[in-house]
Structure 1
Amino acid sequence: MDATQTQDLKQQLKAKWDQRNALNMEMAAIEKQLGGQAMQDYELTRHDGSTVRLSEMFGEHSQMVLVHNMGFACKYCSLWADGFNGYFHHLESGEYGQRAKFLLVSNDRPDQQLAGAKLRSWQFDMLSCRETSLSMDWGYAREDGDKVHYGPGMMILAKNGDGTITCHQQTDICPGDSLMGLFHMFIRLPDSTGSAFE
Structure 2
Amino acid sequence: MMDKDTASTLAAYRRELAELHTKIRAVQAAAGPEEVQDYGFATGDGPVRLSALFGARDDLIVIHNMGVGCAYCTLWADGFNGVYHHLASRAAFVVSSPDAPAVQARFAAGRGWRFPMVSHAGSSFAEDMGYRAENGGWLPGVSVFRREQGRIVRVSNARFSPGDDFCILWHVFDLLPGGAAGWKPQLNQA
Name the TM-score, length of structure 1 as normaliser. 0.85
**1:69-148 mapped onto 2 (5 Å cutoff):** 69-93=65-89, 99-144=90-135, 148=136
Q: Matched residues in 1 for 2:54 and 2:171: separation? A: 32
Q: Matched residues in 2 for 1:132 and 1:73: separation? A: 20
Give me the CA root mean square deviation: 2.1
* Aligned with residue 51 of structure 1, among 47, 50, 53: 47
Q: Matched residues in 2 for 1:30 and 1:152: separation? A: 22
Q: Which residue is 1:181 aligned to?
A: 168
Find the residue that maps to 2:170 and give its secondary structure. Answer: helix
Q: Which residue is 2:7 aligned to?
A: 10
Q: Which residue is 1:96 aligned to?
A: none
Q: Matched residues in 1 for 2:31 and 2:70: separation? A: 27
* Aligned with residue 68 of structure 1, among 64, 73, 85: 64
Amino acid at match of 1:159: R
CA contact (8 A) 1:107 1:129 kept: yes
1:179 to partner: Cα distance: 1.3
CA offsets per residue over residues 38-90 of structure 1, 9 Å max, x none? 01111100024x10001011111010111101111110110110110111211
Q: Which residue is 2:154 aligned to?
A: 167
Rg (Cα) greater in structure:
1
Name the TM-score, length of structure 2 as normaliser. 0.88
Find the residue that maps to 1:22 and give its secondary structure. Answer: helix
Which ranges in structure 1 are unaligned for 5 or more consecutive residues?
94-98
CA contact (8 A) 1:44 1:53 kept: yes
